[in-house]
Each structure stands twice: as C-alpha cells, then as structure tokens.
Amino acid sequence: MSLRIYGNRQLKTLPGLVTRPTPSRVREALFNIWQGTIAGCRWLDICTGSGSMGAEALCRGALTVTGIEQSAKACAIIRENWQQVADDSQEFQILRGSAIAKLALLSGQQFDRIYFDPPYASDLYEPVLNAIAREAMLAANGGEIAVEHQRDRAIEPIDGLEICRQKTYGNTSLTFYTVT
C-alpha cells in the first residue's frame, strides 16, 4: 500500500492494518489549522506509524522532525519515507520504543508542534499526555499538541495542558492542547 502527501509525493506503508495512516482529510485539515507555523518548526510525532505526518511536515519546511514508534518494521519504513522527502537543511530522527520512555529521553528538547496519534483502542492517551505535561519544556513557548482520536472517545482534562480547540472529521477528532 502507498500513500500520497503534499506535492503529490508517494510514501510507503506497512501492509495490512499494522499501522493506521491518518486519513488524508484529517491530515489536510491539521496542516491548514497549523498553516504558517510549520516552516522552520521543530516537530515531534508520537506513535509515528507510517511517518506520513512527519513527512508532510518535512515537505512543508519543518526544520527538524522526531518520531517515536514501537514497531521496528514501521521505523524502517518511516526512515525511508523521511529520507525521500527531507532536504539537506532538515534533520530527522526515529526513536524506536515505548512512547513514555522515549519522551523522558527527549527532556530538555523543545518542539513547536507535537502530533500524537496512538492506536485508537490503546490506553496511551492519558499517560503520554501526562508525560508531555510533566516534561513541560517539550512544548516550546507558543507550541501546540494535536491528539488524534475516535470521535466518541472522551479525552480527559490533563493538569498542565489546556484544550484550545477540538475539530471532528467524520469518525476522527483532533483535540489541540497548549501547555499552561
């Protein structure tokens, strides 16, 4: 299976349902919302999957992209996809392993945009958002966090994070946070 992103670029994906790429309608909506803030930004992609969101950020001029992904096979595909779209002035890295453990390793780094899209049925939402809130410096001043989830999933309030907007596209919702 393949997937197309900004500039009609084609990306590889893992076969089957191992990863669930963000629907193109949701991906386009997110980049429209964050329009004008991607060029030169530092992007963190948690539960990276196929890497389509990070690839899109690179295509739109993100300075750095960091991905966190559990699957070794997915990490190989992500690396290949990002190498295909990144130019010499851009940097990217893929961290393989648990989102919580890898977030702790990123302590002291700052990201302007954080995208979090775990498997919808997972129990990662609250622990990862709490870890981001604990590592308050992860989100740069003026930074935002976008969380993709099923429309009917309740997203709990998180101490240290404030919901600034919510958008729904069919069965998929995006909840945006800022650090308080």
Residue-wise pLDDT for 73-104, tens only, equals 999 999 999 999 999 999 999 999 999 999 99
Residue bearing the bigger pLDDT, 166 or 14: 166
Q: Which domain holds residue 10?
A: 2-179
**CA-based nearest residue to 115, from 29, 180, 36:** 29
pTM for this model (two decimals): 0.91
Percentage of the chain exceeding pLDDT 70 = 89
Average of per-residue pLDDT across 116-144: 88
CATH number at residue 139: 3.40.50.150
**Contact, 172 vs 150, CB < 8 A?**
yes
How many domains, in total, are found in the chain? 1
